[in-house]
Amino acid sequence: MTNKTYKIKNAFLILLIWILLINNVFTIASQDISLDDLAPKSRICDINTVYEDAKLMSDEEKQCELEYFKKELELSNKTSIENKTLEILVQKKAGEKDNLIKIMNLTRLNYEEHREKTILELFVIKKRFIEKFYEYSKKDLKNKEDVKMQINKYISMVDKQQKARLNISDASIKKLYTDKNSDDFIRTMLPS
């Protein structure tokens, strides 16, 4: 091997070592930045935050999501959301984002103390109905009040765990034919 060839080989090796060193420095620097992103102080939970499994969330993640839903449902500090409900909401956010937004809007129409129950119940109702119901509520103030009244009445019925059934009997029909008071008859028909 000649002296000239030896010098070229050494220069090439030194250059290679330099490239590797610079690469390492950049890699370490970029890792520092991503760690900064994951720090609790910079966590932001919104409608786009998605978790594959809500049950595997860390305490910090749960807390973040809890704050997000409390804010969306306009819940004060005195009202909280149960862990089980939170997990369901996080799952819905991952799978039914649009439906969740509409349901949260409808839920806000009910009283604060009933909102947790309301949001869960509205997820049982078919999506296509929620969509129409939401559009109907947005139309005007009268519709909004109607929807508010309906949701409140519906949740009261759910709370009672009572099946809706007409109170109709031969005696009530006979009474209608005697006194001709249809308003009174309708009142007696309504489920108690």
Contact residues: other proteins, CB under 8 A: 121-122, 124-126, 128-129, 132-133, 136, 150-151, 153-154, 157-158, 163-166, 168, 170, 173-174, 176-178, 180, 182, 185-186, 189-191
**Residue 116 · residue 82 · CB < 8 Å:** yes
Which residues are within 8 A (CB) of 146 and not within 5 positions of it... i.e. 6 or more apart?
137
Residue 51 or 133 with smaller CB distance to other proteins? 133
Distance of closest approach, residue 81 Cβ to other proteins, in angstroms: 19
Q: Tokens standing for 158? A: 């759910």
Residue 37 or 183 with smaller CB distance to other proteins? 183
**Residue 97 · residue 47 · CB < 8 Å:** yes
Round to whole Å and give the CA distance between 8 and 11: 5
Residue 57 or 176 with smaller CB distance to other proteins? 176
Residue 66 or 119 with smaller CB distance to other proteins? 119
Distance of closest approach, residue 75 Cβ to other proteins, in angstroms: 22
Closest by Cα among 84, 130, 66 to 103: 130
